[in-house]
Amino acid sequence: MNQLINKFNNFFSNFEALGSLFLRLGVGVAFIIYGLGKFPLPPEGLIEYFDLSPLLASLVAISELSTGIILIISYFIKNPIGHTLTRLAGLNIVILMVCIFAVAHRDWFITKQLFTNIQIFLLIGGLFFLIKGNKV
């Protein structure tokens, strides 16, 4: 039985980097889609719903789009720059998601709605990349 368990674990240990890549692609693509959804600039929905200035609303859209792109591209930069870019993208995701929870979803704090929505998983993904960086 131990031999079977060891073979199983050894097989999947060869794919550890893929787990991080799949999470990176999922979070990165989500942020690209969210950012693109706010174009053309300035995003009227953010301005009207949250009473943001056109500049701040545009910065949110550009930040979401660029964070998704940087998160994906930094995977392929196998040096300290890629590691730092990954962590900066993770930090930006955490900041964006905390602001979203604080402004748009205050009523979600520790509720079923929080844990059944994509926003909590994007926050967790951001924390993952902030802490882990590009390390395999």
pLDDT recorded at residue 102: 83
Mean pLDDT of 52-65: 95
What pLDDT, on a 0 to 100 scale, did the predictor assign at position 116?
73
Give CA–CA dist 106/114, Å, rounded. Answer: 10
Q: How far apart are CA 9 and CA 103, in angstroms?
A: 43
pLDDT at 120: 84
Whole-angstrom distance, CA of residue 119 vs CA of residue 27: 10
Distance CA 46, CA 43 (A): 6
**What is the per-residue pLDDT for 108?**
67
Question: Of 2-11, 35-44, 107-116, where does the model show the most confidence?
Answer: 35-44
pLDDT, one tens digit per residue, over 111-125 is 777 777 888 899 999
pTM across the whole model: 0.86
Whether residue 131 is predicted with pLDDT greater than 90 in this model: the reply is: yes
Give the position of tokens 């591209």.
73
| Local confidence band at 16 (pLDDT 50, 70, 90 cut-offs) | confident
The 10s digit of each residue's pLDDT in 66-108 is 999 999 999 999 999 999 999 999 999 999 999 988 887 777 6
User: pLDDT (tens digit, 9 = 90+) per residue, 20-34?
Assistant: 899 999 999 999 999
Predicted local confidence at residue 136, as pLDDT: 62
